[in-house]
Chain A
Amino acid sequence: MKDSNGLVFSGRLSRRTLMLGAAAGAATLAMPNVLRAADKPTLVTSIRSLSNPYHAVWKTGAEAYAKWAGLEHVTLVSEGNSEKGIADIKAMLAKTNGNMVLNSDPNDTPDARPIVEACAKAGAYVVTQWNKPADLHPKDFNPNYVSHIEFDGIASGKTIAEILFKAIGGKGGIVALGGLISTTAAIERKKGLDAALAANPDIKLLDFQVANWKSTEAFDLMGNLLTRFGDDIKGIWAANDDMGSGALEALRAENLAGKVPIVGVDGIKTAVDAVRTGEFACTITSDPFWQGGMGLAIGYNAKIGKFDPAKEPPEHREFYGKAVLISHDNVEEYYKTNVESKPEINWNDLWGRVTGAIRA
């Protein structure tokens, strides 16, 4: 809509602009024929943006897989706009005549349905990650809707909590920084923390506060928590690394950095560095590099008939992926293989990181 308006207005301004627009349009029309000529399917990645490190790594993983498999790869970016995300996918389906494999992180939960329906109609193969409505199932769109992948927030929250408890010797007080109250990830990770606390009665949760995923808020909050509990705080549980790093700076201002261990989720570089220096006890990541590559690999293998999605067990259709834990034990290796160079992943091991079917 916006683009066509722009074209009309520019046409009013000068004939040359109009001609240029027409030429560009003609060029776009000619493109599908070029793509159609190829027999091999096109790999398509649909993500939210390239301005956050998470999706930037996702794209590198996708490109690594495409290079390994020797296939054409296209990245579509929705910029947080659901309509644009869906329209771009439909345009790609038309361009490739359905001969494509899509790995999508739908911008919003309801988006998954139109995306899957459009792919099934065009005969393309699709894998979705993170977001889909609860009543949308891969088994209802055989064979096109191959799989849906998520990561278990409860397990992540619990795992990092257990490592924190171990780091402080199994007893003492901790404080917890939660994410934006209404988000699923915040709720699930807190549930994981609660479960770990229930299993460790010697650990006392001094206070649970909300820093809305932000390091700035965690920084101020941590200062106040230090006043209230002082030396009783033996460890800090943060629902993401950004808040954990804000808390770390508040500790540093009081000369406590490294003395009070922190744990977080996401595996951002600041946190990985902090694990190396011992200021973080651990962080955990869904490994966007794997998500970007393996989502395409699963779709592509279904497309070329390596396996029949309809015959796969439920835990291969809707599953929780295995999160990668980065702690003192493996941080140097992780740094070498993931930060300093690109990770090596066995792209043939399609189901190696399946930890179980998604809870209904």
Chain B
Amino acid sequence: MTFLPGRIAIMLGGRRWRSLAPLAVLVVLCVLITIANPNFIELRNLVRLANSAAVPLTLAMGLTFIIVMGSIDLSVEGTLSVAAMVVVLLAANDSNGNDYGWWAVLAAIAAGTVMGLISGLVQTMLRIPSFMATLGMWFIGLGLSVYMLGGSAIRLNDASIRNLALHRFLGLPLAVWVALGAFALAAVIQYHTRLGRHILAIGGDEDVTKLSGVNVVRVRIAAFALAGFFFGIAGVLAAAQLGQSHAVIGDGRLFAAVTAVVVGGTALTGGEGGVVNTLIGVLIVTVLANGMILLGISPYIQQTVQGLMIIAAVALSLDRVRLKIVK
């Protein structure tokens, strides 16, 4: 079993140069943007970049496990909004008298995990494809938040939770440290635990994995619960950053997370890629969004540029020659 630094060394050693493509894209992007606008590499901007990457990174960590497994989790926005709703309603807020402090955070993460667990159970026990099972969970989560929040935005008044976004440690907001912690945890799970190996194995070939004696059902349920756990953390971070929660706090996060995972070089078919790829993918997407503003690209064509970049990044990083079928 190779440890994380060793793994990066292998990537850098060029055993498979294609796995380096996302990193190359990231570096080229940074260099080009810096040439166009030197403000980009200012420390203040790098801190802002890290700050806007915090929520997407935490989300994408959870999603990576699911995509590596060859499944998909569409419940990202629903689970995130449930977690954000729970934390806001249980901590000090401007709608009810609750003030459970950090217990609210734990409850929110637990709620996210339970949502994931249910997705996993629905998928394995009822044998419903992950696409439909998690689509259902997305709407259930969203509906739950709309109902609990009464359609309005509720402010988060707990100062210590707000400090996740406002307080800084070594120059970086606490949210960034939390996201880095989530990355470290995900990396450990993927590379140093049996669960991580089994998830990758299922993505590679589920039948073979089953024949080798792995309890595929249990691994699948665990993977969805794990994803829900990360979505829960992301929900808390999102609520802390915005200082409020409303049902649509997750809007657009699903697409951003899937984009980051795929641009990082993780194959949608499963069995390839991982959390290190996703870290790079998230940075590419965040740097791109930041760069387009720095370069003053008109909002009317930003989406087009983003689409072009996604196709370019995936074209470079996927080994399409080996693909027998493209569908």
Q: Is the CB of A227 within 8 A of B244?
A: no
Specify which chain A residues have a CB less than 8 angstroms from the CB of B151 in the assembled complex. Answer: 49-53, 56
Report if A207 contacts B (CB, 8 A): yes
CB distance from B271 to the nearest CB of A (A): 32
Contacts A181-B299, A227-B48 hold; do A219 and B40 have CB atoms under 8 A apart? no
Specify which chain B residues have a CB less than 8 angstroms from the CB of A270 in the assembled complex. Answer: 153, 155, 244
Report how far A82 CA is from B247 CA in the complex, Å.
23
Q: Is the CB of A228 within 8 A of B252?
A: no
A-B contact pairs, 6 of them (CB 8 A): A53-B151, A217-B252, A219-B241, A223-B48, A223-B52, A269-B153
Report if B166 contacts A (CB, 8 A): yes
Report if B214 contacts A (CB, 8 A): no
CB distance from B82 to the nearest CB of A (A): 16
Q: Is the CB of A223 within 8 A of B294?
A: no
CB distance from B254 to the nearest CB of A (A): 13
Residue of B nearest to A241 (CB): B153
Report how far A223 CA is from B51 CA in the complex, Å.
9
Q: Is the CB of A219 within 8 A of B242?
A: yes
| Besides A215-B242, A223-B48, 10 other A-B contacts (C-beta < 8 A) | A51-B247, A56-B150, A208-B299, A209-B293, A216-B242, A219-B241, A223-B51, A227-B44, A252-B166, A269-B152
Among A34-42, A61-69, A242-250, A318-326, the stretch that binds chain B is: A242-250
- Report the interface size for chain B: residues with CB under 8 A from the other chain: 38
Q: Is the CB of B251 within 8 A of A53?
A: no
CB distance from B36 to the nearest CB of A (A): 11
Q: Is the CB of A209 within 8 A of B299?
A: yes
CB distance from A173 to the nearest CB of B (A): 13
Residue of B nearest to A215 (CB): B242
CB distance from B297 to the nearest CB of A (A): 10
Q: Is the CB of A253 within 8 A of B249?
A: no
Report how far A39 CA is from B238 CA in the complex, Å.
54
Report if B248 contacts A (CB, 8 A): yes
Interface string of B161-198 (1 = CB under 8 A from A): 00001100000010000000000000000000000000
Which of A216, A230, A245 meets B238, CB within 8 Å? A216
Q: Is the CB of A228 within 8 A of B248?
A: no
- Report the interface size for chain A: residues with CB under 8 A from the other chain: 36
Report how far A268 CA is from B154 CA in the complex, Å.
11
Which of B42, B146, B238 meets A227, CB within 8 Å? B42
CB distance from A196 to the nearest CB of B (A): 20
Which of A53, A56, A224, A245 meets B293, CB within 8 Å? A224
CB distance from B85 to the nearest CB of A (A): 13
Q: Is the CB of B44 within 8 A of A216?
A: no
Q: Is the CB of A227 within 8 A of B173?
A: no
CB distance from B255 to the nearest CB of A (A): 12
Which of A220, A228, A253 meets B37, CB within 8 Å? A228
Which of A53, A56, A216 meets B252, CB within 8 Å? A216
Report how far A200 CA is from B247 CA in the complex, Å.
39
Specify which chain A residues have a CB less than 8 angstroms from the CB of B44 in the assembled complex. Answer: 227
Residue of A nearest to B146 (CB): A51
Which of A210, A253, A268 meets B51, CB within 8 Å? A253
Specify which chain A residues have a CB less than 8 angstroms from the CB of B300 in the assembled complex. Answer: 181
Q: Is the CB of B39 within 8 A of A53?
A: no
Specify which chain A residues have a CB less than 8 angstroms from the CB of B150 in the assembled complex. Answer: 51, 56
Report how far A225 CA is from B52 CA in the complex, Å.
13
Q: Is the CB of A214 within 8 A of B294?
A: no
Ranked 4 nearest A-B pairs via Cβ: A51-B151, A224-B293, A210-B299, A227-B45
CB distance from A276 to the nearest CB of B (A): 13
Which of A51, A216, A224 meets B249, CB within 8 Å? A216
Report if A74 contacts B (CB, 8 A): no
Looking at B39, B241, B293, the one whose CB has the most chain A CB atoms below 10 A away is B293
Report if A178 contacts B (CB, 8 A): yes
| Interface class of chain A by DSSP | helix
Considering the complex, which residues of chain B in the window 246-303 have a beta carbon less than 8 Å from any beta carbon of chain A? 246-249, 251-253, 289-290, 293-294, 296, 299-300
Specify which chain B residues have a CB less than 8 angstroms from the CB of A223 in the assembled complex. Answer: 48, 51-52, 290
Report if A226 contacts B (CB, 8 A): yes
Specify which chain A residues have a CB less than 8 angstroms from the CB of B289 in the assembled complex. Answer: 220, 224
Q: Is the CB of B39 within 8 A of A227?
A: yes
CB distance from B40 to the nearest CB of A (A): 7
Specify which chain B residues have a CB less than 8 angstroms from the CB of A217 in the assembled complex. Answer: 252
Report how far A217 CA is from B303 CA in the complex, Å.
13
CB distance from A255 to the nearest CB of B (A): 9
Specify which chain B residues have a CB less than 8 angstroms from the CB of A249 in the assembled complex. Answer: 165, 241-243
Interface string of A167-210 (1 = CB under 8 A from B): 00000000000100100000000000000000000000001111
CB distance from B33 to the nearest CB of A (A): 11
Q: Is the CB of B248 within 8 A of A214?
A: yes
Q: Is the CB of A228 within 8 A of B296?
A: yes
Report how far A191 CA is from B238 CA in the complex, Å.
32
Q: Is the CB of A228 within 8 A of B244?
A: no
Which of A51, A207, A268, A273 meets B296, CB within 8 Å? A207
CB distance from B209 to the nearest CB of A (A): 38
Report how far A221 CA is from B249 CA in the complex, Å.
15
Q: Is the CB of B173 within 8 A of A52?
A: no
Looking at A52, A53, A253, the one whose CB has the most chain B CB atoms below 10 A away is A253
Looking at A56, A226, A249, the one whose CB has the most chain B CB atoms below 10 A away is A249
Residue of A nearest to B253 (CB): A216
CB distance from A273 to the nearest CB of B (A): 8
Q: Is the CB of A178 within 8 A of B155?
A: no
Q: Is the CB of B294 within 8 A of A242?
A: no
Contacts A209-B299, A216-B238 hold; do A227 and B290 have CB atoms under 8 A apart? yes
Report how far A215 CA is from B246 CA in the complex, Å.
10
Residue of A nearest to B42 (CB): A227
Report how far A220 CA is from B246 CA in the complex, Å.
17
Which of B173, B247, B248, B251 meets A253, CB within 8 Å? B173
Report how far A143 CA is from B272 CA in the complex, Å.
70
CB distance from A115 to the nearest CB of B (A): 24
Report how far A178 CA is from B300 CA in the complex, Å.
11
Contacts A51-B151, A216-B249, A270-B153 hold; do A253 and B166 have CB atoms under 8 A apart? yes
Interface string of B113-155 (1 = CB under 8 A from A): 0000000000000000000000000000000001000111101
